[in-house]
Amino acid sequence: MKILTKKQQHVLHSYFHDDWKYLILAGAKRAGKTYINNFIFLYEIRGIAKLAAAKNDPHPLYFLVGFSSNTIYTNVISTLASQFGLEIKTDRHGHYHLFGVDIVPAYTELLRGMYSVRGMTSYGASVNEASLAVYDVFQEIVSRVWLSKLG
């Protein structure tokens, strides 16, 4: 039994071996994008935790971007719970925490979504449904990400 399809294997191989600034998954509904994206998300968070520790950064930030809090929960958090058995809850600020990384939700539904990330610098971002994002909010989020492929 194969765990990953050939396309998913190709994406994971690209994640580990290719030099990219943005990794964009596109395809039909139920093509397995969310499934492989969940693997990549966990690899990213673990890698950021290691990088932050090497830089003596006790409070690394990572953006989890989606259209709304509901879409972030439905499309990312609940699928991580189903796929890996993880229980990821929010803190009093609405942030998630995993492997010592503060995962900050950012919403792209409305222009005011950019204010939740102003003044922050993130080690990275995972964007769900980028095609639905308000352009200015998306640009603000991109400008707040320290774009380095984990090192």
Measured in whole angstroms, how far is the alpha carbon of residue 63 from the centre of its chain?
6
Within-domain flag for 65:
yes
Domain membership of residue 78 as a residue range:
6-143
Domain count across the chain: 1
Nearest to 91 by CA among 75, 105, 81: 105
Within-domain flag for 55:
yes
Q: What is the rounded CA–CA span in Å between residue 134 and residue 114? A: 10
Q: Is the pLDDT of residue 78 over 70?
A: yes
Per-residue model confidence (pLDDT) at position 151: 42
Within-domain flag for 151:
no
Within-domain flag for 150:
no
Q: What is the pTM of this model?
A: 0.85
- 12: tokens are 């994971």
Q: How confident is the model at residue 70 (pLDDT cuts 50, 70, 90)?
A: very high
Residues 48-75 have a mean pLDDT of: 93
β-strand partners of 64? 105, 126
Q: How confident is the model at residue 108 (pLDDT cuts 50, 70, 90)?
A: confident
Per-residue model confidence (pLDDT) at position 147: 55
Within-domain flag for 15:
yes
